[in-house]
């Protein structure tokens, strides 16, 4: 099954509930785009990575990997029913299940666009500085967020 379809299957209820737009960035990356941020879901050799994207003060799209930060806050309930993976596809599916549950159970504030979580994020040992988003991310996500920002400011 294509990665986009896997993300749609496991994050579909989040996309609907929080009025997000699901966009394929490249074969290994799908973004959940809101009014003022995006969450990018990456397929990697380790399973799944979660990246947070937003416009900076210069209206450039920037990102940080928040996978470890999120995982620190997940619990047994988020991991319930997960089977030991024997291949990469199972590892990816497990990651999608855990992250979709964990985001809904512990990070509704992120899904609602609240940026108050940054303060806690900056204090943890896994925090990193924002970096410029990839060309592909900027091509697809940046215009949507810029359009949303301009329609909000009118």
Residue 113: which pLDDT band, with cuts at 50, 70 and 90?
Answer: very high
- pLDDT for 11 beyond 90: yes
Contact 50, 65 (CB under 8 A): yes
pLDDT of residue 1: 74
Rounded to two decimals, what is the model's pTM?
0.93
Burial 27-59 (b: 16+ CB within 10 A, else e): eebbbbbbeebbbbbbbeeebbbbbbbbbeeee
pLDDT digits (tens, 9 = 90+) for 84-96: 999 999 999 999 9
pLDDT of residue 10: 97
76: left (phi over 0), alpha (psi -120 to 50) or beta: alpha
pLDDT digits (tens, 9 = 90+) for 46-69: 899 999 999 999 999 999 999 999
The rounded distance, in Å, linking the Cα atoms of 143 and 128 is: 25
pLDDT of residue 151: 78
Alpha helices by DSSP H, the chain: 3-17, 67-72, 88-106, 108-111, 117-123, 135-153
């Amino acid at each position: 099954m294509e990665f986009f379809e896997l993300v749609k299957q496991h994050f579909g209820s989040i996309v609907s509930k929080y009025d997000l737009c699901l966009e394929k960035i490249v074969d290994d990356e799908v973004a959940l785009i809101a009014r003022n941020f995006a969450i990018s879901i990456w397929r990697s050799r380790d399973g799944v990575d979660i990246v947070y994207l937003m416009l900076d003060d210069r209206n450039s799209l920037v990102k940080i990997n928040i996978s470890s930060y999120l995982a620190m806050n997940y619990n047994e309930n988020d991991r319930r029913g997960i089977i030991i993976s024997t291949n990469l596809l199972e590892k990816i599916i497990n990651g999608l299940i855990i992250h979709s549950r964990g985001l809904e159970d512990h990070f509704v504030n992120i899904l609602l666009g609240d940026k108050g979580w940054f303060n806690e994020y900056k204090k943890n040992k896994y925090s990193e500085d924002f970096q410029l988003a990839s060309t592909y991310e900027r091509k697809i996500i940046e215009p949507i967020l810029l359009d949303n920002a301009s329609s909000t400011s009118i």
